[in-house]
Structure 1
């Protein structure tokens, strides 16, 4: 007599239970939920935002006063140092904030909160990265508006509406690229001490090796080449040109580099390429940590 064994139960197909994609409502819902968590933290400890707004305003007022007696014509015809400095303060403030974007993620790693997120049924773990990027962009826009408003009160002329929109676009593209690098470091470095060390080593050298504080013509030849290869200069010079010229176009020459003139459109293209390269470089680190 033969015995018939019961058939094994059929397991559900994985394809029908696949997690929602990056364009799903669930992904954006969890992204904004994680973003809201960061703003709740900011609401409980607003000193970060207050210091982030006050510091660039102090730079603008004190540096502008320190060099107000600089020789006429050094920064262009009828251009004060305060007007020259405004663009550098806007861009460097955005750069500094974006460079610190990885610190909250690093602290979440060290305190164990990130591990809880990684085992949660998220639509995509990349929502953790996107939430941090949106948070930094929002803070950067608050700082940028404060700097532009203070510059106007100090006598600097404002760009027209189209110019202001281009300024916002330039700042956002730069912030996206630097935030990506900072988040990549947050997932790659062993702890926050190493990340803070990288921030300290990177911050001021990139500031002084750019056109934030002085024009290219004021620099020695070797530093002119360094500044012309610095991504910050490709954000500072277009913003400065938009501030000082109302009749701008995408073909306007905004940077007289040692290798030739750089137009407004070309400078924006360099920033887009820098952000794309940054996003590409962090992909292996994000996949190792999130997938």
Structure 2
């Protein structure tokens, strides 16, 4: 009498290394994250035009928009403030925002070409290394773009903040990039394909640009748009950076914006940004757990 030997069932959705010591588990997660991050940078190395365009485009904004409004009435953007100085903060924030909003595209293409499925059945110590690699990649690119914009602004006469001011600018960009990257990665797992994700990116980008203080001060807007702009979290990234650029004696209690509902201090804007980041990252946790399970 013959027996049929059936292989033991294994759940491909479960990580393979749960029995490892904690130190080994952390080391494996770091190794996986670095390897996946390196893969993204190799892709960038093969397509350097992506990075070049990401740097040239905001610099063109800075030069062309600054020249377009150089004859604006004196005092419209503040005492002894040129439009180029005023615009720099908006260009920094929207360059970082646009790059973070595109963070989900590599994940979406990996889904469509089947590479993500191979990662999900691989013996990874943690599948969240897939997400962390994308976050590290986008954050690095955003900081490179920010450095280029800050350097060009200095060349065009906008000056440079202090060392602590530059650190604050980097911190604000980091908060914004982490929040928007998380939302973009959530959309990459939730939407059916890259066409839908690109549509969301196009529909979201310009309205948030014009409904913020990136291009004009709050006082220049009609009342209803002022309300909308103060509900836009990007305004709370733009105004602290702008204030740090224009005031060397800044502090966390400095008033940076007169909103329709009251004054906003620099510290208050940072708290709003931190809250936005926490809410954004917390909201995608259930979705990521389901998709990466």
Q: What TM bracket, shorter-length normalisation?
A: over 0.9
Q: Which moved more, 1:229-238 or 1:253-262?
A: 253-262
In structure 2, distance between residues paired with 1:19 and 1:283: 25
In structure 2, distance between residues paired with 1:17 and 1:210: 50
What secondary structure is seen at the aligned counterpart in 1 of 2:79? coil
CA shift for structure 1 position 18 = 5.7
CA contact (8 A) 1:238 1:254 kept: yes
What secondary structure is seen at the aligned counterpart in 1 of 2:240? helix
CA shift for structure 1 position 17 = 2.4
Equivalent in 181, 186, 191 of residue 189 of structure 1: 191
CA shift for structure 1 position 21 = 8.2
CA contact (8 A) 1:27 1:124 kept: yes
What secondary structure is seen at the aligned counterpart in 1 of 2:71? coil
Which residue in the other structure is 2:206 paired with?
Answer: 204
Equivalent in 136, 144, 151 of residue 153 of structure 2: 151
CA contact (8 A) 1:20 1:123 kept: no
Matches within 5 A, 1:93-242: 93-242=95-244
CA contact (8 A) 2:17 2:25 kept: no
What secondary structure is seen at the aligned counterpart in 1 of 2:258? strand
Equivalent in 43, 61, 75 of residue 45 of structure 2: 43
The runs of at least 4 consecutive aligned structure 1 residues that moved more than 3 Å come to 18-23
Cα RMSD of the aligned pairs, angstroms, is 1.5
Which residue in the other structure is 1:10 paired with?
Answer: none
In structure 2, distance between residues paired with 1:185 and 1:85: 30
What secondary structure is seen at the aligned counterpart in 2 of 1:177? helix
Which residue in the other structure is 1:6 paired with?
Answer: none
Distance 1:15 1:212, change over 3 A: closer
Distance 1:56 1:90, change over 3 A: same
CA contact (8 A) 1:177 1:279 kept: yes
CA shift for structure 1 position 287 = 1.1
CA shift for structure 1 position 285 = 1.4
**TM-score normalised by structure 2 residue count:** 0.92
In structure 2, distance between residues paired with 1:142 and 1:233: 22
Alignment of 1:288 with 2:258, yes or no, is no
In structure 2, distance between residues paired with 1:265 and 1:22: 40
CA contact (8 A) 1:21 1:27 kept: no
CA shift for structure 1 position 16 = 7.2
CA shift for structure 1 position 225 = 0.4
In structure 1, distance between residues paired with 2:25 and 2:266: 33
CA shift for structure 1 position 157 = 1.3
- Report Cα offsets for 1:175-224 as digits up to 9, x if no partner: 00000000000000000000000000000000000000000000000000
What secondary structure is seen at the aligned counterpart in 1 of 2:56? helix
CA shift for structure 1 position 256 = 1.0
Matches within 5 A, 1:10-29: 17=19, 24-29=26-31
- State how many pairs are aligned: 278
Flag the structure with larger Rg: 1
